[in-house]
Amino acid sequence: MHIKDFAGKTAFVTGGASGIGLGIAKVLVERGARVVIADLRADHIENALAQFAGGTGSNAVSALQLDVTSRDAYAEAAAKMQADFGGIDILVNNAGVGLEGPILKATYADYDFGFGVNIGGVINGFVSFLPQMIAHGRGGHIVSTASLAAEVVMPPHLAIYAASKAAVCHYCEAVKPELAEQGIGVSILLPGPIKSNIHQAIQNRPEHLRAGSGFAESEQKLSERVVGDTWMEPEEVGEMVARGILENSTYIVTHGIFKDWQRARSQAVLDATPDVENSAVRGI
Ligand code: NAI
């Protein structure tokens, strides 16, 4: 059963204490869901809960501190959701880090940080929560936040980010039919520029992956970036995500501004692809 409305549903939103995740959490609460915000940062959690305090949905929101890269902590969080709510109905794999830096300076610490959070955290969400979402028999939905960076050839310094997001996209596309058989819908959120704290990647990097990083200078520079006035409000993204869940949309795309780049990438792959007769010879 796909999600038909949000009343009485329980949603677990990673990276839910800031930016896009908080926008999604607000919209789901407004529509009657219980939302558990799971986030690495205590300061973000405190600020997020303060935004709900006193509002009509304040009782519907709770938070827990979770590093999505920790498999043990994730398993514990899932067990708590099972005990407290009889399992969750909606998982939003949204936690991510916007790291950037010159590829020739990248070290394994940078690869491990980027891939660890952006795709590792998503995989940990699927692995930790799928068993309970299937076992409770109510059906459900999993949204994972990729990026339009996954759909275009990105400018320099964003290779690790783009690759980690492309992995999210292809993983979700590929599991969707199998999960449909279990009543679990799958959506991929592909945002363009959204107002958030994504420039604070440096603050989300664990100590052991700071040591030896080649991106310290770039991350310092990124942390000074100013959020654009014209970037989309996270609540608007939240509305799009809510609609995407109800419609079980595979892709939830926030902006059309990169369409030419998206088309150029797809066309380049098609242009390099042999004719159909060629593959028929190989018996595919
Ligand atoms: P944000 O930094 O405001 O929010 C991300 C939240 O995730 C933060 O509260 C942070 O504490 C949390 N987080 C970071 N690492 C974590 C970890 N290991 N475990 C648990 N929580 C963790 O940034 P934003 O922009 O709202 O990012 C949300 C998602 O949207 C990310 O996956 C990002 O890559 C993606 N995105 C954002 C775009 C934008 O323009 N803001 C564009 C395209 C994609």
> Helices H, strands E: what count in the chain?
11, 7
Mean pLDDT value across residues 99-103: 96
Q: Give buried/exposed letters for 13-23 (b at 16+ CB in 10 A, else e).
A: bbbbbbbbbbb
> Are β-strands 34-39 and 10-14 bridged in parallel, bridged antiparallel, or unpaired?
parallel
For residue 176, is pLDDT > 70?
yes
Closest C-alpha among 135, 121, 237, 122 to residue 183:
135
The residues, ordered by sequence, that sit 6+ positions from 225 with a Cβ below 8 Å of its Cβ are 199
Number of the ligand 1 atom closest to the C-alpha atom of 196: 3
Is the sign of the CA dihedral 36, 37, 43, 48 positive or negative? negative
Mean pLDDT of the chain: 96
Homologous superfamily (CATH) of 10-257 is NAD(P)-binding Rossmann-like Domain (3.40.50.720)
Number of the ligand 1 atom closest to the C-alpha atom of 17: 9
Q: Judge whether 161 counts as a catalytic residue.
A: yes
Closest C-alpha among 189, 199, 18, 209 to residue 92:
189
**Reported confidence tier of residue 284, pLDDT bands at 50, 70, 90:** low
The residues, ordered by sequence, that sit 6+ positions from 129 with a Cβ below 8 Å of its Cβ are 12, 78, 81, 88, 91, 142
Catalytic residue among 108, 111, 161, 251: 161
Q: Which of 22, 26, 27, 39 to mutate to test the pocket of ligand 1 (most atoms within 8 A of CB)?
A: 39
Number of the ligand 1 atom closest to the C-alpha atom of 117: 18
Determine contact, residues 189/142, Cβ cutoff 8 Å.
no
Mean pLDDT value across residues 20-34: 98
Ligand 1 cavity residues, CB under 6 Å: 14-15, 17-21, 39-41, 44, 66-69, 94-98, 117, 121, 145, 147, 191, 193-194, 196-198, 200, 204
**Reported confidence tier of residue 1, pLDDT bands at 50, 70, 90:** confident
CA distances from 197 to 15, 21, 152 (A): 11, 11, 23
Strand partners, 62: 36
Mean pLDDT value across residues 173-191: 98
Is the sign of the CA dihedral 26, 27, 32, 33 positive or negative? negative
SS3 272: coil
pLDDT at 20: 98
Strand partners, 90: 11, 141
The string of pLDDT tens digits covering residues 119-165 is 999 999 999 999 999 999 999 999 999 999 999 999 999 999 999 99
Mean pLDDT value across residues 253-265: 98
Closest C-alpha among 182, 69, 181, 173 to residue 116:
69
Euclidean distance between CA atoms 225 and 89, whole angstroms: 36
Is the sign of the CA dihedral 269, 272, 274, 275 positive or negative? positive
Q: pTM here?
A: 0.97
pLDDT at 276: 78
Euclidean distance between CA atoms 4 and 226, whole angstroms: 39
Closest C-alpha among 64, 179, 74, 178 to residue 117:
74
How many C-alpha atoms does 101 have within 13 Å on its Cβ side? 24
**Reported confidence tier of residue 190, pLDDT bands at 50, 70, 90:** very high
For residue 211, is pLDDT > 90?
yes
Question: How many Cβ atoms from other residues are within 10 Å of residue 70's Cβ?
Answer: 17
Which one has a higher pLDDT value, 162 or 57?
162
CA 234 to ligand 1 centroid distance, Å: 11
For residue 281, is pLDDT > 80?
no
Question: How many Cβ atoms from other residues are within 10 Å of residue 137's Cβ?
Answer: 11
User: What's CA 107's distance to the chain center, in Å?
Assistant: 24
Euclidean distance between CA atoms 16 and 107, whole angstroms: 29
